[in-house]
Amino acid sequence: MSGAVDLSALKNRAEAAANSAAQPPGGGDGAAGQAHPAIIEVTEADFQAEVVERSLQVPVVVDLWATWCEPCKQLSPALEKLAREGNGSWVLAKIDVDANPRIAQLFQVQSVPMVIAVAGGQPVDGFAGAQPEPQLREWISSLLNALRDQLPGIRAAEEGAAAAEPEEEPEDPRFTAAEDALENGDYAAAEAAYQQILDSEPNNEQAKAALMQVRFMARAEQADPSAVERADAAPDDIDAQLAAADAEVAFGKVEEGFTRLIQTVKRTSGDDRDRVRTHLVEMFEIFPDGDERVTKARRNLASALF
């Protein structure tokens, strides 16, 4: 951003406004109401302290916005998200231009949204208009890289965030052995390894889900598309229905495979019904939590059983 702006020009007016409003230092209610310390509401009264003085330690990104501005409603949340991720390496100062016309005049705002980066008490970069998050992220990164050696607070915040990150837990050798077997295509060895974990830890959900996946992968590798045709010709053949469902799921027809087994549950009873139900429930385990197809199939299975 070319040209220097004297940001101290508002200092006297800000101090007078702060005294007359009896505001405490640091931004009054606007700053106190923020959910994150790196996101602050700034007015003419606290501009000097919250923007100019803060910018001596870390960059302050000034978001100039207005309540009637539609693009502001997309830009501001994106900036807030990045400020939270920044862990204090920079600060987002949100300024309503209608409520703070002197600040708008200072930055020569002609349209909003407008974003100005302030460092060392002076504007150093900026842009007008809404920007997509990837572009904002790149801009912030470039800003921090350019100022890291000049502003001590950037590196201090980054080092503090790194120190606060939990150390990675060491890998469980039992899982490592199972995963190695799986990579080598040895499904039997992988299944045995996961089963061994469950024998000693029956409630290990990670091993339980992995075991279901290995079993299905072994079956899916042998899946035959013609199994569907054979099953359709023999609706009472339980083995045929299970093989056909495996083939359908393996070839991406997930809902068809689920429906096949649910219909088979409806037609069967006793051990046959329990066998089909168990096969279907195990199949559910190979999908991530929240998969809508699984949620729907679970409801339909419950209806079929009860």
Report residue 116 as tokens: 């100005």
Report residue 298 as tokens: 């679970």
The closest of 109, 8, 6 to 65, measured between CA atoms, is 109
Q: Could you give the CA distance from residue 71 to residue 279 in angstroms, rounded to a whole number?
A: 51
Return the bridge partners of 94, or none. 41, 63
The closest of 6, 119, 135, 145 to 62, measured between CA atoms, is 119
Q: Does 25 score more than 50 pLDDT? A: no
Is this model's pTM higher than 0.75 or not? Answer: no
The type of residue at 151 is L
For the segment 113-148, what is each residue's pLDDT rounded down to a tens digit?
999 999 999 999 999 999 888 899 999 999 999 999
Cα 60 to its chain centre, rounded Å, is: 25
The CATH class of 173-305 is mainly alpha
Q: Could you give the CA distance from residue 116 to residue 110 in angstroms, rounded to a whole number?
A: 13
Q: Could you give the CA distance from residue 82 to residue 97 in angstroms, rounded to a whole number?
A: 22
Answer positive or negative: Cα dihedral of 120, 125, 128, 130: negative
DSSP assignment of 238-249: HHHHHHHHHHHH
For the segment 64-102, what is each residue's pLDDT rounded down to a tens digit?
999 999 999 999 999 999 999 999 999 999 999 999 999
For the segment 26-54, what is each residue's pLDDT rounded down to a tens digit?
333 333 334 689 999 999 999 999 999 99
Q: Give exposure, 70-92, as e/b (b: 16+ Cβ within 10 Å).
A: eebeebbebbbebbeebbbbbbb
Tell me which residues are annotated as active site.
69, 72
Neighbours of 51 (CB within 10 A): 23
Q: Where are the domains of the chain?
A: 7-164, 173-305
Higher pLDDT pick, 287 / 54: 54
Q: Which CATH superfamily is domain 7-164 in?
A: Glutaredoxin (3.40.30.10)
